[in-house]
Amino acid sequence: MAQENTGNRHAWLKWIAGILAVIFLLIGAAALYFSAKWKPMLSEKLKAGVEEGSGGLYHLGFKDIHLNLITGTASIDEVTLNPDTAVYGKLKAAKLAPAHIFQLSLEKLQLNRLSIIEALFKKRVELNSIVLREPSIQMIHYRVPKKPDTVKEEKTLYELISKTFRSVHVKVIRIEDANFDYVNGADGKKKNSIKHLGITVEDLLIDSLSQTDTTRYYYTKGINFAIIGYESKDKMYTMTADSILGSLAGKRVTVKGFKMIPRYPDLAFSRMFTYGKDRYDLDFKEISLSGLDFVEFNTSGTIHLEALKIGPARAGIFLNREKPAPPGLDKFKNFPHMALRKIPIPTTIDTLKLKNIDVAYTEYNPISQKKGTIYFDRLRGNITHLTNDSSRIAENHFAIAQLKAVVMKKADIDIKINFDLQAPDAAFSYTGKIGPMNMVDLNVVSKPLGLIEIESGKMQGADFSIRANRYGSKGAVNFRYTDLKVKLLKEGEDGNPTKEKGLLSFLANTILIKDANPTKGEAARTANITFERSPAASFFNLLWKGVFIGLRETAGIGIVPVKTPEQGMKKIQQKKEERQEKREKRRAERQKKKEKEQKKGENNDG
């Protein structure tokens, strides 16, 4: 009996398994049949949805679509998304065009857990995920001013797709390892390129309610992007970043570990160019942008930042003054407020916040054949109202910098700079004060760059008020000090060190130099300075030269001429030419004497 029951049970199992097998075969056959039948219908729906959703601006293309009704997956081969230039032209003519349009291409688009029945019969698209792997994306920028009196309201995205779908819901969209190019539409040239870009879109929902849901951003709960391990190289620099992270809903971008690394040492770098060129060595631990209005950027092509924070960071700048400036070049174009004007799109930064930035500005002086470095450590403070937007400048044409730092690693400095954003001559003014320091600590700058060695001197403090522009600077410097004694130096040649001008140093200390300010029983002296800027001088050079000249004037050595590097190089070259002429003359005299002695010897032999 037991054996009979066991046999019956096995028979039932075989029978059930057979039925299930037939059912699965029928489902599989039906899935294949309906996949083949519905493929054209779904293809048409997708293309129509993109076209209607973009108001005819974009067209979707692909080679083939693969459906699996059992697993609810679909993949699309050789996908392209291209703008319709005719439609975009009409939008531009009507001043309704967006500032950016997109082009996209990829080998395969993957859709997971797609309900085909819901999409076709209930007009609801439900998806777990959409994955785009290694796409190529172009974001093309055009200048397209908006019509100021436009009253026509643009249709929402839901209104555009409502004829095709009642709703679209995607839990996550992932763009992996994309190549992204930002292109100038006017000339077709690439402005920026990014490799290995990742983008994640969270909970996309397009329906009648989400279009007014204030908790969503572009119909999503979040759009985030990430670039990990960014690297770019050219002939002179390597630029890297550990990570670049951004959130559109959070209106923020954070860059960590950004470095701009020169590929050659300072002098070797500069000598690869015919003309003088600044060399930068940058290491920014963190750069963060907050309050970045991505919507405004996309629709009008303008950048507005509530805050840009930089730091901790290190910035090294080097200039070899033996190299002449390029013909016709004037570095005033690179002054901070002038550089703003070169940004091709309207840009506003409400506040630039600097935190613990160490700046080292180094010059190589061909007269002394040495380098001198000015240090500003722990630079911190704010710069407000940085903009090149003409409408904002019309309301307020000044950007204000309030900064603090430690100068030459010894003395505190406070400085306020007023940048005139509309001045054609790059005008700005600056005021500030410097705390006490031992003046001997200035020798690392004064010896190589000013040909002055400070033997002793105590600075109680200094304050300054200077107006400057592309042509130079004028102002007043109050410099308070005691026990000042200096040596005047002359240039070395062929690598030889500078030498003391003994007599001139004695006369300077005895007659010219005021060893204290104020002198006992007298009022404190104020230096009224005038400095003529060289076109090759940078903003930073102009800034510190005004104060340095004030210190010289107050000390009484302002009348001692200071050669410019160009003048020094000319004098050194003249001396070299004179020595060369003397050597050639002596060589000719020796040769003449030798020939005379040979001739005399021949006569004696005869």
Residues in the chain: 606
If one counts every other C-beta atom within 10 angstroms of the C-beta of residue 576, the result is: 12
Q: Which residue has the higher pLDDT, 480 or 551?
A: 480
Task: Print the SS3 string covering 367-408.
Answer: CCCEEEEEEEEEEEEEEEEEECCHHHHHHCCEEEEEEEEEEC
Residue 338: the pLDDT is 95
Residue 88: DSSP 8-state: H
Instruction: Give the largest Cα separation in the chain, rounded.
Output: 151
Q: Is 364 helix (H, G, I), strand (E, B) or coil?
A: strand
Query: Of all residues in the chain, what percent carry a pLDDT higher than 70?
Result: 80
Sole residue written with tokens 């643009």: 154
Mean pLDDT of 234-257: 92
pLDDT confidence band for 603 (50 / 70 / 90):
low
Mean pLDDT of 536-562: 79
If one counts every other C-beta atom within 10 angstroms of the C-beta of residue 252, the result is: 17
Mean pLDDT of 470-494: 82
pLDDT digits (tens, 9 = 90+) for 501-511: 554 554 454 44
Alpha-carbon span 362 to 371, nearest angstrom: 7
| CA-closest candidate to residue 363, choices 234, 433, 266, 245 | 266
Alpha-carbon span 562 to 545, nearest angstrom: 12
Mean pLDDT of 199-227: 84
Tell me the torsion sign for CA atoms 106, 108, 111, 112: negative
Over 60: is that where the pLDDT of 601 sits? yes
Residue 493: the pLDDT is 53
Which tokens is 427 given? 């005008």
pLDDT digits (tens, 9 = 90+) for 78-133: 989 999 999 998 888 888 888 888 998 988 888 888 776 666 666 777 888 888 88
| CA torsion, ordered 478, 457, 553, 518, to nearest 10 deg | 50
Mean pLDDT of 474-496: 77
Which tokens is 411 given? 């003395």
pLDDT confidence band for 571 (50 / 70 / 90):
low
Residue 447: the pLDDT is 76
Residue 553: DSSP 8-state: H
What type of residue sits at position 407?
V
Alpha carbon distance, N-terminus to C-terminus of the chain? 151
pLDDT digits (tens, 9 = 90+) for 37-59: 567 777 787 788 788 778 888 99
Alpha-carbon span 367 to 570, nearest angstrom: 10
Task: Return the domain boundaries, the chain.
Answer: 27-220, 569-600
Query: Of all residues in the chain, what percent carry a pLDDT higher than 90?
Result: 33
- For the chain, the C-alpha Rg in angstroms (whole number) is 37
Instruction: Find the range with the poorest average confidence among 130-134, 276-280, 316-320, 512-516.
Output: 512-516
pLDDT digits (tens, 9 = 90+) for 388-433: 999 999 999 999 999 999 998 999 999 999 999 999 999 999 999 9
